[in-house]
Chains A and B, each alone.
Chain A
């Protein structure tokens, strides 16, 4: 094996290069790249069907890309070519990568047969092989932080959407991930519950967590992002700091989009 030339920027936490994804004839992603430094908050915006969620789901391999490269802290996912897409050739590596990529879903996806606390300690105990005592200790801090300590013994079905999403964020945080992935975390919530979730995400951004977020909350994206990506039909149309993308976009389409969503 050839020795890989180390990238000249050591603090690149997540790097995605030329990601393609197609379902049969339909090309959803046509070469999307992204580079996030430690502490970056990258927001992806765009109309429904622009491929932003698919892109996010490719990062932790819930969807398999057709082509491209994914690097986490300099280490690339090992792929071999398959029939319809690339196939990861090292399952252990995939599991290790996923453990470091904390994902928060639009529909929460808490495990319904477990209490909030059980949801939160499940990953640390089963995947990271921590002792239960240690996992409980970490979980206590995290649940306090998202304001759910009182709800720790509650089952998800008995909680509001906002509480469930905060529990889901706690579950992802408990893995101590190097990157957090948010897939439209507030889209399934009633309007009055959006705020409590955004507040938690904002506090994570402020403490310098590396995050990639797909969202329709434009004001929020403008406030917390270090970098905004506007995706249109699987291609990056506009990319830059929020001031540029929202106030002074080069692309006419992006201009129309950010104006229409306001």
Chain B
């Protein structure tokens, strides 16, 4: 390793911690995407189907989430909601270790962020499915839920797949914000290494490389899924 520039002696020492951080990043990302998507689908759908009050509520939610910085949402949720629990005396109960940990707050904040952004994407996606295909589904006697599950949702997702991939990659790259609320995901570990070794660039480079290694397979996986249904290029 003599030929390689920089100081890298610390890697073996911090390797287990980096693995823990990596695992936490992946957990945070996957949970946020899964929870966020399951919120985004109804948020997008009600804006197309109504009822009106729900559509307005969903629209308002998307506007607020998309219009404010994620960092501020994260802090408001962690310090804001988090500070109520001791007031209610929950710090005396068995729940407290969970309520004190940053991770659930991070999952919550990232999930609603995904829900807000993807909810807006899904609104357009649902609207973009040709009406005739939905009529065809009705005309063979499908129930509204069957139409959604078999035709409307898959067609909508197909149309916005590249956009969704982009949203998920952006979410991955926003996860370092979680380190500001005591979640030691991979970036948080990187900061810790920097503080303890007084090295500036090397840990940053390694962390950047780790994110690249996460994003790469994620993109490839989504591209594979996208290409499962061939699209005609006209």
Chain A contact residues, CB within 8 Å of chain B: 60, 62, 91, 95-103, 105, 107-113, 122-123, 126-127, 155, 157-158, 168, 171-172, 175
Contact = CB atoms under 8 A, between A and B. Distances in A.
Given A109-B133, A171-B136, 20 more contacts: A97-B141, A98-B139, A100-B141, A102-B140, A105-B132, A105-B135, A109-B135, A110-B136, A111-B136, A111-B155, A112-B158, A113-B151, A113-B229, A126-B142, A126-B146, A155-B230, A155-B232, A157-B231, A158-B230, A168-B136
Interface in B131-156: 132-133, 135-143, 146, 150-151, 154-155
A99 B132 contact: no
A50 to B, nearest CB: 21
Interface string B217-233: 00000000000011110
B133 to A, nearest CB: 5
A108 B137 CA distance: 12
A103 B139 CA distance: 6
Interface of B: 130, 132-133, 135-143, 146, 150-151, 154-155, 158, 229-232
Contacts of A171: 136, 140
A60 B140 CA distance: 9
Given A105-B135, A110-B136, A123 B230 contact: no
B139 A155 contact: no
Contacts of B139: 60, 62, 98, 101-103, 105
Contacts of A126: 142, 146, 150
A112 B231 CA distance: 9
Nearest to A158: B232
A127 B133 contact: no
B100 to A, nearest CB: 46
A85 B231 CA distance: 40
Contacts of B158: 112-113
Given A122-B150, A126-B146, A126-B150, A109 B229 contact: no
